[in-house]
Structure 1
Amino acid sequence: MNRFVLLICAIVFPLQMVKSADLDPLIAPHAAKHREEINKILLKAESAERLARDAYLVVLDSLERDLVAKRDPAGAALIDTERKGAAGISLGSGENDKLPKKAQGPRRTLVKELAKVQVDVVASARRPNAAYLAALNAIPGTAENPALAKQIVAEKKRLLLGVGTVVNFQTDMAGTLWRRVNNNKVLHVFTLDKKWEGSDWTAEAPDKIRFHWASGGGVTLTLAEGGNMIIGEDGKPNMILERGRAAKVAE
């Protein structure tokens, strides 16, 4: 089953993917605790999303059987197409007027369930995020230790950009969700079957991802430092991470 994710809000901070060994000993234990708590939230959200999508697929299967029994191959084909694309449905997905009416209501229900998961993640993440920020602010000795102060500033910046970071396109990208910078109403899901808005994508390097258009050609984008933003070929921010993928999620 594909795993999905969502969410960006200034009050919701990201799961830190920086290795504890790379952090100052004064920061590392706080980062590890925060990482563990946020990871639990991500896993819970993924489970809720998976259940919602499974329920929608059950409805589609039932509708398809009914349409086949009624000798409506065109309607059954529409349901089959919807099933194949169901993994990519997100909060930004609009109506699908081509669907039989009996499927339109369940689709809206799925989107509402995904929205509820987002709200729950926001609420659940506030407490560990605030605790980690407070812990960073309470670390002593920053005036005498520029390297420590720099790491604290970097951690705070990372906290402002989303939940979960992507440090390697080749291992971390599948199952994440991003929001377009030039249109914050548009969400893009990177599914586990390497699909993105109907097109294919390939992680060519840890920091390079290639989109292959169905019509031919494509574009290569770059992962920004911090793992929360994708940079376009023009050098400008293209997408911001909504929510990464839980580190402990099972393949």
Structure 2
Amino acid sequence: MSDDYLVKPGKKAKLDGRDPADTGGLKDEESARTQLADDIVAIDKLQDRLYAEGKRALLVILQGMDTSGKDGTVRGVFNQTGPLGVTVTAFKRPSEEELAHDFLWRAHLAAPKRGTIGIFNRSHYEDVLVVKVHKLVGAKEVDKRYDQINAFEKILTDNGVTILKFMLHISKKEQRERLQERLDDPKKHWKFNPGDLDDRKLWDDFQDAYETMLERCSTDHAPWRVIPADKKWARNAVIASVVRKTLEDLDPQYPKVTWDPKSFRVE
């Protein structure tokens, strides 16, 4: 199922040819939630082994337009995973300290250490998306960043970090409904940011920026997956299945001790 969403390295990724409401072959919401629950349990057990092994790491990158479900994915997929071995970094507007360094500095600082799962809620890709659309730096500078990102991610993978990159693909219609819901429900007012409406006016520009990002930065060592995000239950089920399969392929093992447990007795 996950292979259907892969962006093949060097290939164009036309977003208008991908259905944001696709369910990935999942029969219905009930069966998807059943599958998700099973995958969540498996992810927790595999993460425990990854932490105990302490040799490799997993980095999960979540990118998407406002309301596409980055927070919801973190809660829906990793809510039962032991907090000891999981870190979540939300990338917001850069601080003065971060702006004083190269644009990848804060991403490298947040990269997961061995034995852990790191989750980027937004990421270093903001520097070829928001920065590009709002023209915060020159076009030539943005163009250089794609190769710099690929090199950065190659450094991580060469050092034992497996990278999963998910672009949460939401339709403009679904985004409108979710933004309106935040306005209509007093309990969700805190989620609403008037600036989201400004970015919504630049929808086509953002879609173009995402397509370029996918084409330039889907690599053999860190490919992108475009995940349909109109249906939250399908989005979470698909991502959880990919995370589980990836951890199963890594097959982390509990370390073997060099001493004989039978030689000790607890009084």
TM-score range, shorter chain: under 0.3
Q: Which has the higher helix share?
A: 2
Q: TM-score, normalised by structure 1?
A: 0.23
Q: TM-score, normalised by structure 2?
A: 0.23
Bigger RCO (CA 8 Å, 6+ sep)? 2
